[in-house]
Structure 1
Amino acid sequence: YKYHKYKYIYLMLVTLISAYSFKNCIRNYQDDTSFNCIQRFQRCVSDLVSDLPHNTRALNISHNLLTRLPQEAFHKFSQLISLRIDFNALETLEEYAFDGLYSLKMLNLSFNKIQHLKSKMLAGLSNLTDLFLNNNNLGAIEYDAFFFLGTLKLLNLRSNKLQNYSQIVKSVSTLTSLRMLDLCYNFLATLNHSCSLPKSLIILKLCNNSLVSLGNKQSPFSFVHILDLSNNTALNEQCFDNLDLGNVKYLQMKFNQISILRFLNTSNIKRGHVDYSGMGLNDNSRLQNLCEYLRHSEVRRLALQSNNISSLQTNTFDNCPEFKIIDFSRNVLKNSKCLNFLKSKSSVQSVTIEHNQLNRLYSCSKVKYHFPHLVNISYRYNRILSVADSAFSNAPNLLSLKLNINNIAFLNKGAFKNLTKLKLLRLDNNLITDLFSSSFGNLSNLQILNLRNNRISVIFDLTFQSLENLEILDLGGNKITHVTKKAFSGLLKLINLYLDRNNIKLLTNEMFHQIQNTLLTLDLQSNQIRYISKESSLSPFKNLTKLRDLKLSEQRPYGITIIPHSYFKGLRSLKSLFLSGNRIMKLPTDAFDDLVNLEFLSLDNSCDGISKIYDGIFRHLKKLRVLNMENMGIQSLTEEVFGNLTNLHSLLLSRNPLQIMNVTIIQNLTSLRYLDLRKCPISCTCDNTPFKNWSDNASEVQIVYFYDLMCSDQSNHFYKFDNSVCYLDIGKYLFLSISPLLILLMVSPIVYLKMYWKIKYTYYIFRSWFNDHWRRMEDKTPYKYDAFISYNSKDEDWVLQQLLPNLEMEGTSFFKLCLHHRDFELGRNIVDNIVDSIYNSRKTICVVSRQYLRSEWCSLEIQMASYRLFHEMKDVLILIFLEKIPNRELSTYHRIRRVMLKKTYIDWPETTEEQEFFWTKLKEALRISSLMGCDTSECEEKKFLLLFFLSDTENQFLSPKNLYMTK
């Protein structure tokens, strides 16, 4: 019955939502047809892809250990469009290895060890457009290797060991759709070939080979538009004799042994289509001669990179045609001189002087020439230390200015004067320490300002007041410690603000007051924000009602360990919140109450921080789609944690010490499709039986690398855990059977140690009762003694000198007394002697003194007599007090006090007259019968007193030491 009940529950849960996984792949949670199988260290393709669905469209199995592809390795993926097998150890492609991939468009086989490309290896790829074979060991390609690739447009054979160009041309000659062929970094020596390149080929790259000849055909590049022959150091201008370059629109020939002027004289290429980089044009005379040759040509872009140019004169380009773009990158220029070398080219639109040695930008306020069409200047990767006033005044229409990656430490207040149309200003990766409002005073149309990775420490009031059209402000990577209340005043259209990797410690509501109506993205990652109390005055984001993205990850040095209550209050439009890398100790239950539109939440990498997520903390995040809780130290999750996340698509819980995963926790996540539990020590116990059954039924939710999930004891994989035994509930029966035995084994030593003598004493009480019971039934003989005398050895003189003579030796009638030193049987157990003496005597006389009360043996004797008094209802006990003992001393001896409450006792008087009366009373007490009359209620009361008396745990029981004490 129990088995079927559990089975019904599991089937019901599976009906609600169930899971699946892939042995070596992860399905992209944003695209159900895309799979990544990266770094799985597999040597066999089938082990990687055997369990993937047939409708897979994108597959990445790069960074594995594959050495060969067998026939029809991917035959079931008829819908596959993109396949990456790069960064493996492929040496062999068997024939028809890709057969069946009729829909494939992109195949990446780069960074492998393929040596020979044979026919039929690529058979079946009838729709392939992009093929990457770069960075292999290809030395030979058979003529029909690409025969089946009729639609191929891009073929990358860069960085191989190819030597036979004719063989390559023959293999690609049938590719009527081929547009780009990359043969750079091979070992080609000549371009002699017997076949023709496809007419569709427009991009041919032959850079970094060993070319000494360009072939014996007049038109090997008849249809090529872009030709790269760079870094073929043996090529000279004679190699181009009678070579048809009429259709080439962009030619690169840098670092070859070519005289550019002679080349221009003999070649039919349009002179404006040549890239003049790396041509040895390192002085003004050569540049002037080049301009002479270009005078009557149409030149749009003049590329002069890597020519080792150190200086330019004002008349260097006077004879050049009007060009739009000029590029001086990777030279050794030390001064741009307000671009005076271009003063005759007023039509120039873009100037690039990157990777040079510029160290200062001087003022251009006094120059008389202007560049009205210049819209782009790039001075990146130089050594610029300062920018003077009006450094760009002769280019008033600039739209983009790039000064990043320099050593600028100081900006003059008027450095960007008159750049009223500037939209992009990059000052990142410099040494700027101070910002002034006047520095940006004229940049009213600026839209993007990048000041990242400088040394700015304070943002003062009104610094950006003139930038009313600024949309993106990047201040990340500085040393900002303080932002004043009006620092962002005037930024009426600011959308993105980046303040990450600074030293900001405190956020205030006033800090963002000026931009609260427009800001959409706020990046505060890696600052020093920290709170010491959960109580906070106001949320710093309270008025940012339009903010969509907020990043607070990895605060230094300890992280945001405490989040105040209502910290995110007001962020009702927020869609992404990043809190990863903070050691948050506890999230308040109202932390996310206002984030009703949140779709992405990152709490990952808070290890040693959050250890418990409280119920209801996500109750208002009904639109949340991605929740990242990796490495947070979470040990358990309750069912109510994810209660309202009905739109949650991806849940990441990897690297948490979770041992029990209850299916009921996620059964309400009806939109869940992606669950990551990697490196969680899930226990292989019956507690995880529901989760095991749920995960065994492939359906809707992907458990990432479920087959790698190990049991918490690392003894086995979780998916191999046999939970069939759990249905028998063996654990319950084992617990019920073993627990009592374990408890007994644990309690027995304690009982033996603590209660040994109490148990033994109870045994003697029972035995005395048992002996007396049978004696009353079988033995009707009179008592052997009239009284048993219970006394302490310290009081023995009084007993022998007073009690014994008066009761046994004087008077007409004397009594027979039992004294232990005289009447106990030799060799017999002392306790047995005491019991028999009490029960063989009509009365027991207790001679009470302080020493008597402290004696263990006397305590035993009075308890035996008390038993007969209370239980058998016999008047057998007579108390004689030899000394006055106050009640406060007697209060600690509960047994004596109880007897005194029921029996009259006798005090030993000091005067002779009183002593005579004492003996008379004592003798009368000994003559009275021991039977006590009582009604039912009295007897019951006395029995109750007896039980209460015997249950007393006062420390007066026998001890091992006292067993051998004399009385």
Structure 2
Amino acid sequence: MASLTQRLLSLTVILGAVQISGYSFKNCIADPYSNGKSFNCIRRKEKSMSAIINDLPQSVINLTISINPLWDIPNSSFVHLSRLQNLRIDHNHVQIIAEFAFKDLHQLKSLNLSFNNISELSHSVFKDLHNLTFLSLTNNKLKQLPVGIFSSLFNLDTLIVRQNFMKDFSGIAESVSHLSNLKKLDLCFNNLTSLSHSNVSLPKSLTVLYVCKNNLLKLGCNYSFLRYIETLDLSYNYRLNTMAFQGVDLGKINYLRLRSTSVKVVEFLNISNIKASHVDFSGTGLRNDSLLMVLCRSLKKKLRWIQNLNLNNNKIKNLTNYTLYYCPNITGAVNVSNNELKTTNCLNFLHNQTNIKSFSAEHNHITSLKSCKTQNMVYFQNLEELSYRYNRILYVDSYAFYHTPNIKTLKLNINTIAFLSRKAFNGLERLQTLRLDNNLLTDLFNETFEDNVNLQILNLRNNRISVIFNGTFHTLGRLTTLDLGGNKITHFQPSGLDGLKSLSKFYLDGNNLKQIDTSFYHVFQDTLTVLDLQSNKISFLNENISSPFINLTKLHDLKLDGQQPYGLTVLPHTLFRGLHSLKSLYLTNNNIFHIAPEVFDDLIGLRFLSLDNCCVGVANLQPGIFKNLRNLTKLTAENMGIQNFSKEVFGNLTQLHTLQLNRNVMQSIHIDALESLPKLRYLDLRNIPLSCTCQNSLLQNWTLQNPNVQIVYLYNLSCQHNANLKFYNFDTKVCYIDLGKYLFISTAVVIFLFTVIPLLYVKLYWNLKYSYYVFRSWFSEQWLKIREEEENCKYDAFISYNSSDEQWVMDQLLPNLEGNGSSFKLCLHHRDFELGRDIVDNIVSAVYSSRKTICVVSRNFLQSEWCSLEIQLASYRLFNEHRDVLLPLFLESISERQLSSYHRMRKVMLKKTYLQWPGSDCTNPKQAQDLFWNQLRRAMRTGSQVRTEESDKSEYCVATESEKNEHFETSDENYYLLP
């Protein structure tokens, strides 16, 4: 309770001095690494734009508002976000955009309004967007563009208006005619019937024009209208015919798509001034040899060579040796994808095109790749890339690529290859990338990749491989990436991974491995950086195992998430031993029963740790479990069943930037744990049953007042007991009484005490101390005992003296009062105090057990606290009980000025006659000392005040006149004399 009060006081003082605000937003999430410049407002339920963005800071530069039920954008919606440069309002239900919706967005460069229901725009809606370079209106319901709508967009570079209902190209051309920086205009998927226009022209800067998937019947434009266009897409205008291009200048076009039109390409080439090599012949109906040969002859008349020949999507079923015989020399790529080919016959149809560098036959009906090692084989020495993806290939025969010995990239993925000959890749010594993923391979042998000594990337993902045999990769010393994920691998034979001396990335996810192979740490100890073991069947029976990663000193990415069927139920405390360089660790979706506190001790370089859904039921994280993860920047711990978020567990994560705790079960969070994370900037507490009680009052203040940490959707967090109440504003008044009044009273009390205590200390220190001891003695039985024995005193006198005067007491006082015929019994500290008894009780007992108290006063006596206590007790009996028990005895001359600091002693001197020990400077010291002892014995016997007679004065030593003046005192009551 005391600590709670202190924190409330400190918090109030801080808030009184500086007014700050929290860093949480109702409907948006700040990118945790953007320093408050990028925000995403996605999948919210708000229909109002202001409700979504009104609490965003002015620093926003990038803003995404997507997949929301927004239906309009009101005027001045973004005036408080004047620094915006990139704005996305796509995939909403926006129908209306007010005339001044984008007012004051002078720095905006990119605006995406795609996938909405916009059917109409104001002519001045983009008026303030002077720096806009990108505008997308894709997939709306626009039928036309208002005149002058782009009049102020002088810097617009890209305009996309595809998938609308535009019919009037003339209006579009007029709208963009003044945009001197426009380079790309996309009008695909509209209802344009022609490119007819009035007396306007397209900007000279416009080089890319897409008019695909419209209803073009003709172009309808003048000769020079397209003279600056370099890329023109007219595909899927089914009714566009050849004659539409007559009288149109296409001289600058370097890429033209005519797929799925009615254009006859040979006739088109004859009537157009376009360069034949710049036409994409995909989807132009060239389905047989005769049509292809006519095309080739036509091309050869115009060109000596052609860089790329695209023949995809032409429904070609067969390619003979004469198909491309009459074509010009092809120096780049031949693409026959998306046709109906069943074989490529070792590329014999390209027998006179041996200079090609790339060949692609994807999306065909090819069922096999047969051996190409024959006597009359044509070799393609320049071919570097070969792709047969998306076919129906069942097997690959020996020497299937013998005719392409220099290829660097071979893509056979996404087929049905079940049989791969051991010598299928023989001769491919320069091969660098091999894709065999998504097939039906079951076995790999040591001859399979024997010749591929320069292979760097091998992808075998999603096959049916179950065992990696010895020597499978023994020649792949330069391989850096090996992907074996999605297979059925159960184990590796002892030397199955030998030879992989340069392997950096190894993917084994989705297999049937039951243990981590020990060959990892002696094969990859100096090279491996990424190891993916997720979704296997790895488990451990006990916590005491040797680490399989002990020598993987360069590993920085390790995935162990989602082990089947029950996960890593036991996590050995030595599992990650030696992984000092690890940066990312994934343990998601495991059912770990217990995580030992030392399990992460070696991961001193870890930056990212994922523990989502990794525990069974409630996670009991031990204190110190993250003690060495001082470099961790992101921790995801969703749905772990964490009950207590404490400083002992999370306090060492001093570099933590992002923390995701959603879907856990803690009902409260102590802010000292959060305050121990100085670099924290992003905290996700969604779906946590936080209680709206005083236990979380400090947490509520912290979430609202912390200016650095973003609490994700804080204003939507509900109270545990009532979903209609929100955590951020639950009533905390009952947690503390009027804080202002409390602070006033506390301050007043503190000031009063600071004023009074020093005064009491100076004036009443010994009174209070004495009263305390008297009260304690009175309260005890000892007090009563002393009172009863008071009349029958045990001692004649208690001697109070300082230890520095002990020699005088033992040599002078003791012999003269207890010896030399005297019968007095004295009480001395060292001789008569009871051993083991409290010293104060001994002093009280001595004073009250003695008829007299003799105080041997010296300068040392006055400075002793215990001597002061003894004279206090004796003077109490003198003044308060009216008992004549005190005999002051001065060993040396002490002036009143020196006694002024000891008010109790001065008061005694004013009331009592005291004795002065005659020093050696007296004229007759022996006689003076004898008289001193007689006077002292008489005072002890009679119990009356010691009064010096006139006759005694003559026998004492004579003092100087100044000394006499110093030792005589007068008062209203008595006349006192020092002997």
- TM-score tier after normalising by the smaller chain length: 0.7 to 0.9
Is residue 246 of structure 2 the alignment partner of residue 241 of structure 1?
yes
TM-superposed deviation, 1:8 = 2.4
Please give the secondary structure, in 2, of the residue aligned with 1:440: coil
Which residue does 1:99 correspond to in 2?
103
Q: Counterparts of 1:557 and 1:636 in 2: how far apart (Å)?
A: 29
Distance 2:221 2:355 in 1: 42
Mapped to 2, the partners of 1:119 and 1:342 lie a distance apart of: 57
Alignment of 1:676-755 (within 5 A): 676-713=684-721, 714-728=723-737
Return closer, same or farther for 1:542/1:609 CA change in 2, 3 Å cut-off. Answer: farther
Worse overlay, 592-601 or 59-68 = 59-68
CA contact (8 A) 1:561 1:609 kept: no
Match of 2:625 in 1: 617
Cα distance, 1:157 vs. partner? 0.6
Matching residue within 105, 120, 145 for 1:141: 145
Shift of 1:609: 4.2
Q: Secondary structure at the match of 2:710?
A: strand
Displacement of 1:715:
4.1
What amino acid maps onto 2:160 in structure 1?
N
- Tell me if 1:281 matches 2:282: no
Distance 1:435 1:4, change over 3 A: closer
Match of 1:435 in 2: 444
Give yes or no for contact 1:586–1:609 (8 Å, CA) kept in 2.
no
Q: Which residue of 2 aligns with 1:25?
A: 28
Instruction: Say which SS state the counterpart of residue 417 (structure 2) adopts.
Output: coil
| Residue in 1 that maps onto 2:677 | 669
- Aligned counterpart, 2:433: 424
Matched AA of 1:184: C
Aligned counterpart, 2:322 = 315
Distance in 1 separating the partners of 2:21 and 2:633: 18
2:752 matched to which residue of 1?
none
Match for residue 157 of structure 2 among 153, 159, 170 = 153
Alignment of 1:206-225 (within 5 A): 206-225=211-230
The Cα of 1:12 is off from its aligned counterpart by 8.3
Is 1:203 aligned with 2:208?
yes
**2:447 aligned with 1:447, yes or no?**
no
The answer to whether the Cα contact below 8 Å between 1:18 and 1:694 also exists between their aligned partners in 2 is: no
Judge which range, 607-616 or 575-584, deviates more: 607-616
Q: Which residue pairs with 2:6 in the alignment? A: 5
Rounded Cα–Cα distance in structure 1 between residues aligned with 2:265 and 2:651: 74
Query: Relative to 1, partners in 2 of residues 1:122 and 1:549: Cα closer, same or farther, differing over 3 Å?
Result: same
* Residue in structure 1 matched with residue 484 of structure 2 by the alignment: 475
Aligned residue in 2 for 1:893: none
CA contact (8 A) 1:609 1:633 kept: yes
- Indicate the residue corresponding to 1:370 in structure 2: 379
Alignment equivalent of 1:300, drawn from 291, 294, 307: 307
Q: What amino acid is aligned across from residue 8 of structure 1 in structure 2?
A: L
Partner residue of 2:597? 589
Q: CA deviation at 1:75?
A: 1.2
- 1:227 partner letter: L
Within 1, Cα distance between the matches of 2:535 and 2:5? 55
Gaps of 5+ in 1: 731-967
- Could you say which residue in structure 2 is the equivalent of 1:71? 75
Q: Which has the higher contact order (CA 8 A, sep 6+)?
A: 1
Shift of 1:7: 1.9
Secondary structure at the aligned position of 1:80 is classed as coil
1: CA distance between counterparts of 2:226 and 2:209? 9
Matched, 1:604 2:612: yes
Residue 636 of structure 2: aligned partner: 628
The 1:640–1:4 alpha-carbon spacing in structure 2 relative to 1, beyond 3 Å, is closer
Secondary structure of the structure 1 residue equivalent to 2:594: coil
Q: Deviations over 1:355-384 (max 9, x none)?
A: 000000011111431111100000000000
Q: What is the rounded CA distance, in whole Å, between the counterparts of 2:220 and 2:142 in structure 1?
A: 22
Q: CA deviation at 1:486?
A: 1.9
The answer on 1:410 being equivalent to 2:419 is yes
Q: Supply the AA of the counterpart residue of 2:490.
A: T
Counterpart amino acid of residue 209 in structure 1: N
State the shift of 1:607 in Å: 5.4
- Match of residue 821 from structure 1: none
- Tell me, yes or no, if the aligned pair for 2:206 and 2:228 is still in contact at 8 Å: yes
1:890-936 CA-partner distances (Å, limit 9, x unpaired): xxxxxxxxxxxxxxxxxxxxxxxxxxxxxxxxxxxxxxxxxxxxxxx
Q: 1:163-221, CA deviations, whole angstroms, 9 ceiling, x for partnerless residues? A: 00101111111111111111111000111101111111111111110000101411221
Partner of 1:250: 255
Partner Cα distance (2:310, 2:737) in 1: 82
Matches of 1:515 and 1:608, distance apart in 2: 33
Deviates more, 1:41-50 or 1:264-273: 41-50
1:906 counterpart residue number:
none
Query: Given that residues 485 and 511 in structure 1 are in contact (C-alpha distance below 8 angstroms), is that contact kept between their aligned partners in structure 2?
Result: no
Q: 1:646 to 1:689 in 2, by over 3 A?
A: same
Deviations 1:69-89 (A, max 9, x none): 111211122221111100111
- Residue 10 of structure 1 deviates from its aligned partner by 3.5
Quote the RMSD (CA, aligned, Å): 1.8
Separation in 1 of the partners of 2:729 and 2:135? Answer: 41
CA contact (8 A) 2:474 2:497 kept: yes
SS at match of 2:386: strand
- Answer whether contact 1:630 1:652 (CA < 8 A) is retained: yes
Q: Does 1:539 align with 2:539?
A: no
Cα distance in 1 between the residues matched to 2:438 and 2:5: 69
After superposition, give the CA deviation of every residue in 1:863-898 in whole Å (9 maximum; x if it has no partner): xxxxxxxxxxxxxxxxxxxxxxxxxxxxxxxxxxxx
Asked whether the equivalents of residues 488 and 515 of structure 1 are also in contact (C-alpha less than 8 Å), the reply is no
Please list the CA deviations of residues 296-346 of structure 1 after superposition, one character each: whole Å capped at 9, or x if unmatched.
414211000111100111122122112111100100000010000011111
Distance 2:618 2:529 in 1: 29
Could you say what secondary structure the match of 1:287 adopts?
Answer: helix
Moved more, 438-447 or 720-729: 720-729
| 2:337 matched residue in structure 1 | 329
Within 1, Cα distance between the matches of 2:663 and 2:540? 27
Q: 1:74 to 1:434 in 2, by over 3 A?
A: same
Contact 1:19 1:696 in 2 (8 A): yes
TM-score by length of 1: 0.74
Is the Cα–Cα contact under 8 Å of residues 521 and 550 in structure 2 kept in the other structure? no
Displacement, 1:606?
2.6
Are the equivalent residues in 2 in contact too, given 1:522–1:547 (CA < 8 A)?
yes
Q: CA deviation at 1:462?
A: 1.5
**The 10-residue stretch of structure 1 (617-626 or 455-464) with the greater mean CA deviation from structure 2:** 455-464
> Percent of pairs identical after alignment?
47
* 1:509/1:543 contact within 8 Å kept: no
Distance 1:5 1:517, change over 3 A: closer
Q: Are 1:6 and 1:727, in contact at CA under 8 Å, matched by a contact in 2?
A: no
**Whole-angstrom CA distance in 1 between matches of 2:482 and 2:323:** 39
Structure 1 residues 529, 682: closer, same or farther in 2, change over 3 A?
same
Q: Distance in 2 between matches of 1:216 and 1:579?
A: 63
Q: Secondary structure at the match of 2:562?
A: coil
What is the CA distance between 1:698 and its match in structure 2? 4.0
Partner Cα separation in structure 2 for residue 226 and residue 554 of structure 1: 48
Partner of 1:86: 90
User: TM-score, normalization: structure 2?
Assistant: 0.73
The match for 1:510 is 519
CA–CA distance in structure 2, aligned partners of residues 8 and 483 of structure 1: 65
Question: Is 1:40 paired with 2:49?
Answer: no
Q: Any idea what the Cα deviations from partners look like across 1:142-169, whole Å, max 9, x if unmatched?
A: 1211111111111111100000010111
2:99 and 2:125 in contact (8 A); partners too: yes
Q: Check conservation: 1:55, 1:79, Cα contact below 8 A.
A: yes
